[in-house]
Amino acid sequence: MKIIFLNVPGHGHVNPTLAVTAELVQRGHQVIYYNHPDFAPQIGRCGAEFRPYPEPQPTAVQLNQKASNLVSVTIWVLEQSQRLLPWLLEELRREQPDRVVFDSICLWGMQAAHLLGLPSVASIVTFVQEGVKGMITWRDGLALVRQALPLMPSLIKNRRQLVRRFGPEVFPHPQIFPCISQTNLVYTSRAFQPETDFIDDSFHFVGPSINTETRETADFPWHLLQNGRPAVYISLGTVYHDKMDFYQMAFATLADHRAQFVLSAGRTTDIAALGPVPDNFIVRNFVPQLELLPRVNAFITHGGMNSINEGLYFGVPLVVVPQQMEQTLNARQTARHGAAIVLGDRPPYGRTTPTDLSTALDTVLADGTYRQNAKRIGQSFREAGGYQRAADLITAVHLRKDANI
């Protein structure tokens, strides 16, 4: 079977697909994966054939700059669709794939598969967003309106341009996001997904796509975690890793704490610029997260869906300091399930105090119910089937071609 993956240049969107890609290749399928060349090494390690989008490439920098504003992301995706869709239609006509798998914000992937009548699968790396709307506060809503109003004319213009060029069928669903299809893979469990009537039988909750056998490794002083003290991991992910003020606040606040801390500062962060590192901190540009999480007692995180999923998968309670709206909603859902404490979830997001950070950490370390709830959610993840069930669904025989090619 020939399977084409179409994704956006974001680690949070690519990482959940890697174990799925490797599983499909191992089963003997041909996988062709389109994205920015920055992602070629990890895609290639899965055994897939990597292909770049045509120049000018959609880049991670572009997407990251817009990540905190949903309307900006939507406009960017519409602009990319106008540029990429004509090329992609020809590419798919030539390749004649048996399946197209597209990310839930990869609009051009959904549109091309729909216009050509190809069997397709949506890869949804967040909650199904219709379910989190009930967690939006009036402050969140006001911030969204302030962001959206100046940009709405551009959004409407770009949408109309696509309709004029490709016809109304270029938007087969009322909403732009999530981009959905005949089969929709959601990388969480049904128990952890917020309730919504938007979900039907086409949505399959497969849990986090985690293959611990193929995890990325690195040299790390593991012996420093074997000192009888609780271990705490701190990471703000791949997009928000440059929050030097937060790291320095953590140093000042937690230098005398009884725990051993591990801080993943990001691959491009100048660690020397952080200043003196407390004795109870291990600071690295890269930390093998999947190898570390089973060894820690708490995780201070920005609340990206991958980070939350991986922490809960290993039963680790969270202190979440979200940096934008989507992460805020992820954090609130985790707190609803009793596995996290959320700080700084009022716009502008990400603000917290030394006292609040220290108190929240002490609470999740001392109160065992947070760990119990994290383990309960983690068990629901394991029971969902993971990357193997995702591969089963992608290759399911009921997906038929109705091709217009």
The verdict on residue 400 lying in a domain is no
* 194 and 59 fall within a common domain: yes
> Contacts for 87-94 with beta carbons within 8 Å, 24 or more apart?
87/54, 88/6, 88/112, 89/115, 89/116, 92/4, 92/116, 92/118, 92/405, 93/405
* Statement to judge: residues 16 and 160 lie in one domain: yes
Q: Is 401 a domain residue? A: no
Retrieve residue 341's tokens. 């404490």
**Torsion of Cα atoms, 209 then 211 then 214 then 217, to 10°:** 90
Which pLDDT score is estimated for 61? 82
Same domain, 198 and 297: no
Same structural domain, 196 and 342: no
Give which of 325, 327, 283 is closest to 309, Cα–Cα: 327
Cβ contacts of 124 within 8 Å, gap of 6 or more:
104, 178, 180, 184, 185, 186, 187, 203
Q: What is the pLDDT of residue 214?
A: 63
Kindly state whether residues 306 and 168 are assigned to the same domain: no
> Given its phi and psi angles, is residue 344 left (phi above 0), alpha (psi -120 to 50 degrees) or beta?
left
How many other C-beta atoms lie within 10 A of the C-beta of residue 265? 23
Tokens of 130: 């219709």
Sheet holding 231-235, edge to edge: 281-284, 260-264, 231-235, 298-301, 318-320, 340-342
pLDDT tens string, the chain, 405 residues long: the values are 999 999 999 999 999 999 999 999 999 999 999 999 999 999 999 999 999 999 988 888 888 877 778 899 999 999 999 999 999 999 999 999 999 999 999 999 999 999 999 999 999 999 997 756 777 887 888 887 888 898 999 999 999 999 999 999 999 999 999 999 999 999 999 999 999 999 999 999 999 999 877 667 788 999 989 888 999 999 999 888 789 999 999 999 999 999 999 999 998 899 999 999 999 999 999 999 999 999 999 999 999 999 999 999 999 999 999 998 889 999 999 999 999 999 999 888 899 999 999 999 999 999 999 999 999 999 999 999 999 999 999 999 666 555 565
User: φ and ψ at 359, to 5 degrees?
Assistant: -65, -45
Does 364 fall in a domain?
yes
Asked whether residue 27 falls in the same domain as residue 131, the answer is: yes
Q: Do 218 and 349 sit in the same domain of this protein? A: yes
Amino acid at 212: T
Co-location of 146 and 234 in the same domain: no
Look at residue 352 and tell me if it is in a domain.
Answer: yes
Domain carrying residue 294: 213-383
Q: Do 49 and 91 fall within a single domain?
A: yes
Q: Is residue 404, in this structure, part of any structural domain at all?
A: no
In this structure, are 155 and 235 located in the same domain?
no
In degrees, rounded to 5, the angle at the alpha carbon of residue 161 between the alpha carbons of residues 158 and 163 is 115
Q: How many residues does the structure list for the chain?
A: 405
Query: Cα–Cα distance between 339 and 370 in angstroms, integer?
Result: 5
Q: Are residues 184 and 290 in the same domain?
A: no
**The domain that contains 355 carries what CATH number?**
3.40.50.2000
Rounded-to-10 torsion of CA 188, 194, 199, 201: 50
308 and 229 belong to one structural domain: yes
Please give the pLDDT value at position 325. 86
SS3 content of the chain, % helix, strand, coil (to 5): 50, 15, 40
> Taken in order 174, 178, 179, 184, is the CA torsion positive or negative?
negative
43, part of any domain:
yes
Total domains present in the chain: 2
Residue located via tokens 């940096």: 323
Sign of CA dihedral 141, 72, 323, 353: negative
Confidence at residue 84, expressed as pLDDT on a 0 to 100 scale: 98
> Could you give the 3-state DSSP secondary structure of residue 273?
helix
Instruction: Determine if residue 280 is left, alpha or beta; phi over 0 gives left, psi from -120 to 50 gives alpha, anything else beta.
Output: alpha
Residue 82 covered by a domain: yes
Residue 139 has a pLDDT of 84
